[in-house]
Structure 1
Amino acid sequence: MNGSAQQSRRDFLRLGALAGAGSLLAACAAVAPGAAGDEGAPDAAATTISWWNPDVLDWQPAYIDMAAAFTDQNPDIQVEVQDVPEGGFAEKILAMIAGDTGPDVWVFYYATDFARRGFTEDITPMLEADAIQAEEMWFPICLERATYEGRMYSTPRDGVWGMVGYNASLFEEMGVPLPVEGWTIDDYLAACIALTDEEMGTWGTLISGPGTLLWDQAFCWNMGFEIVSENGRQVQGLLDTPTSIEAIQWVLDLEVEHGVAPSGAQSEALGPFAFGSGKVGMFQASGWNLVDLKEVPFEWDMVSVPIREGGESFAWGDSVQYYMWTGSQEKEASWELMKYISGVEGSQIAAEVGAWTPPTPQTWLNLGWDQDPVLSKFWQQAQLPTKVPNYLRTEFHWDCVHPQFAGIWTRYIENNERPLETLVQEAAAEAQSCLDKSYAAS
């Protein structure tokens, strides 16, 4: 498959990358009735709603085009699309809500239990009033990301699945067999070792570090790893099990024992899109970064995440969401917008712009993406079992869980502390204590 294949962009859920990209932007665009081609002034009597996003410049045309198409169909509603720098975006939203000036609708990726905070609108009655069958409209993972205690508090912006992307040209050049469906983690490691060559400056994989077991990939599910319970309250008894510790050791060894994955600094030296350098065998491919692959000068392809010998294959899926503020003075208009941008027609606009893969199965079928050489692989992933990503199960992940989990890598690699079992047990205990205190106080 050639690097000229189409579509989406960016690893939205890695905070560091987001902050760097988002800090370049701070744009606001008002999409008035007729804005797609009418130079006339906005109707002073039109209802105005604000729609915020924290995204990079490449994705702004998707928001603008969706808003323009919506206002063409709803000339009595004006939509102000505002791009706000990702750095501190969540804090800005909370501060504006506290000041009673929050946006009507915004884009984000809260943990599912964040709904208990009370400022994201319960849209279940709206869905029921419009007779929208959510289970038929959206992919299961998109619904799971929107649901808390049986109620929906958001609508999905996208439906995204992660796979292992690989440089087919590099595999062939180095005489390494191409990955195939059903391959195992032993096959994966063997390929990583064979592709790593110090003299050539090549690396087996970019898939390493704590994120390997948290986002963009199904290594966690396929290896039996868990970090926190589905209700977001329990870490001990999951992170510190023998199975989870074994998975952590396997990921650590990619860098420490086998030397097949570059460090952060080494990866940065390969450029802003390290896989595009042609010096890396494998990386995290998803519907958020396919636009990067469009530019690479070599043959590439994708394959499911490897499994344990005889184990079950899971998909890793996720969905960024649209939220409505409970304090919005224009809930009816805001709901009309959310229905449109999360629906078949609106999500197709974003897909055709090349922003992200849509949350609606019907849009995929309309576009023929279930048969597309590239995108059909994500379609196949959507048919596999998956779970809510384990870093999106508790609103206190970044405060309580992630620092302790990432600290295992720091202690093991940089501080050379051993044994791993003790490090994981201590991390689980600290994370659990923090979670208990945080939930008790909130």
Structure 2
Amino acid sequence: MRKWLTTLLVLILVFALAACSDNKSSSGSDQTAKDSKGKTTLRFATWDSGEALKIQEEIAKKFEEKNPNVKVQVEAYGDGFDQKLAASFGAKNPPDVMYMWNFPAYFQSLEPLDNFIKSDAEMDMDDFYQGLFNYSSMYGKVYGMPAGFTTRVVYYNKDLFDAAGVPYPKDGWTWDDFKAAAKKLSDPAKKQYGFGVRPEPDTYDLQGFVWSNGSSFISEDGKKINGYMNSPETIESIKMFGDMVKDKSAVLVGGKNQQSGDDIFKAGKLAMWESGIWPLEGFKEAKVNFGTVEMPAFKGKPVKGVIASSAVSVAKDSKNKKLAWEFVKFYSSAEAIKMRTADLPVRISVVKEMKTEQDPLISPFYKMLERSNDTPAFLLNKNWDEINRNLSAAINAVMLGQDADKLMNKAVKDSEKYVGQ
């Protein structure tokens, strides 16, 4: 779901061209281009692949059924999503509608949706989880309708817990509980471990741990990293995972020549695994006897989480803005939301109808949603990409057992020149 990050040159090109583009009114008439069958082609770009892409294509077909004069061209950009999207913006030939997450980087190339929303009586904005709009709005304007989200929880293998005589984790547990269980559940001789640590974790995902320990990577006003990124609490949050690898209560997963954590969990060799909603269906298909639980807490501190959210947006340079809005509206409908299984429903009515929150495997994700009210760093500073390169390099080295204090302080020193720009 996180497609970090476009190259600096491409982003500069996007901003330069977007700034020069004319700000066309969303109430203007569409200049539709029709194919040989007289149908209007609507381009929709997604980063999805595999089964998730098939679902996107099914949603496109449903929209075509409701709009016989429209052909939706699904463009699967995959891992090259950001680069391809940025290049299309720069060339003034973007898809009409696209998946979106990095609004600070792209919002100048997107059409604000506020006028569409206000003039569309069918769009019930109160039916969406309101916190999700924090991730798709910039400077008071909505640039994307929430499409899906996930928080992060701990998956645990019940069979491994039973075999080791370790009680299942419960909401309200602590990181001390987590580490103690991981140690009891590890048996390196059998290549079985209590937890899986990513050697190159996404710093975005790590923010939940840091917030839970009372710190953050950057100040709330986005103007300071010294005392935040290198605070004792931040360093403790990161260092504990490298320490678990050292004492063999955890194993590195998902790096070069390493199996993914998902695959090792499926194979019954990983007792606990931290992730979003994405692997849940795969674990069911693999017939793993598993449960989910909300994230552990640092002693005496409230648990906090981070949201991975996606939205659908309309390109400012689209020649089919009204039609693009109709597609965005359909994509936000209960019918389309029910078709998607790789993320969690964004509409309250759908959650209630499907009784999603009552599913014991899903409930912890919604509990973590209630705890996810901090603002991610990339929304606080326009130069976060540059800062994050240094932060990522430091954290990757910490996961491999190097000195956390030295590395995090160096990351701050190397990044401070970007903070005030």
1:50-102 per-position Cα deviation (integer Å, ceiling 9, x unaligned):
00112112112221221222222233332111212323x21111212222211
2:202 pairs with 1:202? no
Structure 1 contact 314–384 (Cα < 8 Å) conserved:
yes
Task: Give the secondary-structure state (helix, strand or coil) at the position aligned to 1:211.
Answer: coil
1:403 to 364, 376, 389: 389
Provide structure 2 residue ranges, at least 5 long, that are not aligned to the other structure. Answer: 6-34
- Quote the Cα distance in structure 2 between the aligned partners of 1:128 and 1:384: 30
Please say if 1:214 is aligned against 2:204.
yes
Call closer, same or farther: CA 1:65–1:388 in 2, change over 3 Å. farther
Is residue 197–residue 250 contact of structure 2 (8 Å, CA) maintained in 1? no
Structure 1 residues 246 and 216: alpha-carbon distance in aligned structure 2, compared to 1, 3 A threshold = closer
Structure 2: how far apart are the matches of 1:370 and 1:128?
A: 30
Q: Does 1:355 align with 2:348?
A: no
TM-score where L is the length of structure 2: 0.84
Give the letter aligned to residue 298 of structure 2. R
Among candidates 214, 217, 222, match of residue 227 of structure 1: 217
Deviation at 1:430, TM superposition (A): 1.4
Question: 2:63 matched to 1:63?
Answer: no
5 Å matches for 1:390-429? 390=377, 393-394=380-381, 396-397=383-384, 399-412=385-398, 416=402, 418=403, 420-429=404-413
Moved more, 61-70 or 176-185: 61-70
Per the alignment, residue 24 of structure 1 pairs with none
Matches within 5 A, 1:246-395: 246-257=236-247, 259-262=249-252, 264=254, 268-269=258-259, 273-350=263-340, 354-390=341-377, 393-394=380-381
Distance in 1, matches of 2:347 and 2:116, equals 18
Please tell me whether the aligned partners of residues 199 and 252 of structure 2 are also in contact (alpha carbons under 8 angstroms).
no
Structure 1 residue 136: Cα displacement: 1.2
Farther-moved stretch of structure 1 (258-267 vs 372-381): 258-267
CA distance in 2, matches of 1:247, 1:297: 33
2:101 counterpart residue number: 109
- The change in CA–CA distance for 1:133 and 1:340 in structure 2 (over 3 A counts) is closer
Q: Which moved more, 1:422-431 or 1:148-157?
A: 422-431
- Gap change, CA 1:296 and 1:224, over 3 Å in 2: farther
Q: Which amino acid aligns with 1:105?
A: V
Q: Deviations over 1:357-397 (max 9, x none)?
A: 22112111222212223223323333334334445655544
CA distance in 2, matches of 1:130, 1:239: 43
- Displacement of 1:120: 1.2
Q: Distance in 2 between matches of 1:415 and 1:262?
A: 11
Partner of 2:115: 125
Structure 1 Cα separation of the partners of residues 145 and 343 of structure 2: 15
Residue correspondence of structure 1 range 138-153 to structure 2 within 5 A:
138-153=128-143
Q: 2:152 aligns with which of 162, 165, 176?
A: 162
Distance 1:217 1:301, change over 3 A: farther
RMSD: 2.9
SS at the partner of 1:240?
A: coil
For 2:184, what is the secondary structure of its paired residue? helix
The counterpart of 2:65, out of the listed 72, 77, 82, is 72
Structure 1, unpaired ranges of 5+:
1-11, 17-41
How far is 1:266 from its partner?
Answer: 8.8
Paired-residue identity, %: 22
371-380 vs 171-180, which moves further: 371-380
In 2, the alpha carbon distance for the partners of 1:275 and 1:185 equals: 20
Matched, 1:431 2:415: yes
Alpha-carbon deviation of 1:137?
2.7
CA distance in 2, matches of 1:201, 1:430: 39
Q: 1:236 and 2:226 equivalent?
A: yes
TM-score by length of 1: 0.80
- CA–CA separation in structure 2 for the residues paired with 1:169 and 1:186: 22
> Equivalent of 1:13, from 2, 24, 30?
2
For the 8 Å contact 1:240–1:425, the answer to whether it is kept is yes
- In structure 2, the partner of 1:37 is none
SS at match of 2:109: coil
Kindly indicate whether the alpha-carbon contact (under 8 Å) linking 2:149 and 2:346 is maintained by their aligned counterparts in 1: yes
- Alpha-carbon distance between aligned partners in 2 of 1:291 and 1:413, rounded to the nearest angstrom: 29
Paired positions, count: 393
Q: Pick which of 132-141 and 101-110 moved more.
A: 132-141
